[in-house]
Amino acid sequence: MEAHLLEWLNLSVRWVHMITGVAWIGASFYFVWLENNLNRVNPKDGLSGDLWAIHGGGIYHLEKYKLAPPTMPDNLHWFKWEAYFTWMSGVALLCVVFYLNPTLYLLAPGSSLSGSEGVLLGIGSLFAGWFIYSFLCDSALGKRPALLGLILFVLLIAAAYGFSKVFSGRGAYLHVGAVIGTIMVGNVFRIIMPAQRALVAAIAENRTPDPALPAKGLLRSRHNNYFTLPVLFIMISNHFPSTYGSQYNWLILAGIAVAAVLVRHYFNTRHNSQKYAWTLPVGALAMICLAYVTGPKPAEPIAKAPAAIEYQPLPETALGGGLKPAAPAATEPAAAPAPAQATIDFDKVHGVIQERCAVCHSAKPTSPLFSTAPAGVMFDTPAQIQQQAARIQAQAVASQIMPLGNITQMTQQERDLIGTWINQGARTN
């Protein structure tokens, strides 16, 4: 029952995060589009530009004031709660997925950190990221946006590298995304909203608004706009183990982030000219190159199929309702190369998968972590195992992100056995 309730708590928080995130990012994209497409030729007095648009069967006329209208309207719509709820639900999701059982989901197998240390590092990194970013923006670098952007990129990838040394691949990626998300909501809470309140207050008091504050808010809004596509990738990255599961996951994240920023820059500038159209094919080429370099490597050939595989018993220690990862089981020395590769007997593969994988991936999981098979993937029958061979290759052999935290102590010998069986055609007879 506990696993079932945790699953629905995860679903509810994740759904709220997705809904509010879509609202926030959609508003960000829309207002940047408005700013970029204003007609600034001979604007009316007091305006910086206007725009005509048609949508949903109606025609709209939008006007932007240089600072503000002479008097404030009765109804002024503010955009803030989308950002706040996206961040709060994201932090709640970190707690539900990673912090409730950090030794299973957050920490990498063999990490030097304890569970509580990992949680403290994760939470501390969110606030450290905001303060470092804010300090750099307020320094002399704030007047050199290209250099500032490069330094921020280097620092974020350095954080990804550091996270990858102590966190699981998923944990590292999601914490980079959480750092960026904290920076974005910090921009809204600490810069954009105060600038807008100061603007409204100046009008109410018949004072001339300070143009520096709205300009600063607009700049931070543009920063948020460029952050959005990398964050969106990180939000969906847990579906793609060839990215976060690679030993070079931090470099892969860097490559995808560069491609995302290039694409975003094209859409932010195409209203003026097409001089950045080259960013689209470059971004596409970058993705093709990343797909190539992250391709699965063939498993080590097994010259002689072992007569039997010694299984280590599953760890029994409970931690937060889950299983505590134990030290990896000792592996046998690699067999000497042979001229011909022995055909792998499926019975041996079946035994490994039942012992190491089916505790979770079954119609009736025996692991207390799950009430149903994760992602609906089950290994109860030979046909199900054969059908999921490509996924097993990607997650248990190539990236080795499964089993989670290696809680069932799958050995390298067993991974090579499964990989060789798949390379031989994944036959079950």
**What backbone phi and psi angles, to 5 degrees, belong to 13?**
-65, -40
Question: How many domains does one find in the chain?
Answer: 2
Query: Which residue type occupies 271?
Result: H
pTM of the model: 0.75
Q: How confident is the model at residue 370 (pLDDT cuts 50, 70, 90)?
A: confident
Query: For 292-349, what is each residue's pLDDT tens digit?
Result: 888 766 555 554 544 445 545 544 443 344 445 444 544 555 555 544 567 888 888 8
Round to whole Å and give the CA distance between 277 and 134.
31
Tell which phi-psi region holds residue 425, choosing left (phi > 0), alpha (psi between -120 and 50) or beta: left
In a domain, 55, yes or no: no
Residue 409 has a CB neighbour count (10 Å cut-off) of 21
Measured between alpha carbons, how far is 106 from 357 in angstroms, rounded to an integer? 19
Mean pLDDT of 188-201: 91
Provide the pLDDT confidence category of residue 283 given band limits of 50, 70 and 90: very high
Residue at which a domain ends, from 259, 293, 327 = 293
Query: Beta 47-55 vs 58-65: how paired, if at all?
Result: antiparallel
Pick from 282, 281, 265: nearest CA to 273: 265
Rounded Cα distance between 118 and 162, Å, is 12
Q: Quote the DSSP letter at residue 367.
A: S
Does residue 63 sit within a domain?
Answer: no
* Whether the predicted pLDDT of 66 surpasses 60: yes
**pLDDT of 253 over the 60 cut:** yes
First to last CA, the chain: 38
- 269 part of a folded domain: yes
Boundary (domain end) residue, out of 293, 309, 328: 293
- Say yes or no: 213 and 328 in one domain: no
Do 219 and 180 share a structural domain? yes
- On whether both 32 and 180 belong to a single domain, the answer is yes
Q: Which residue has the higher pLDDT, 105 or 15?
A: 15
| Domain around 158 | 2-37+75-293
Q: What is the 3-state secondary structure (H, E, C) of 294-362?
A: CCCCCCCCCCCCCCCCCCCCCCCCEECCEECCCCCCCCCCCCCCCCCCCCCCHHHHHHHHHHHCCCCCC
Per-residue pLDDT band for 231 (boundaries 50, 70, 90) equals very high
Residue 333 has what pLDDT?
55
Distance of alpha carbon 376 from alpha carbon 356, whole angstroms: 17
Distances (CA, A) of 201 to 72, 197, 208, 215: 10, 6, 10, 16
pLDDT tier, 158 (very low <50, low <70, confident <90, very high otherwise) = very high
Residues 352 and 261 in one domain: no
Q: Would you place residue 215 in the very low, low, confident or very high pLDDT band (cuts 50, 70, 90)?
A: confident
The predicted structure's pLDDT at residue 316: 46
Q: Same structural domain for residues 325 and 278?
A: no
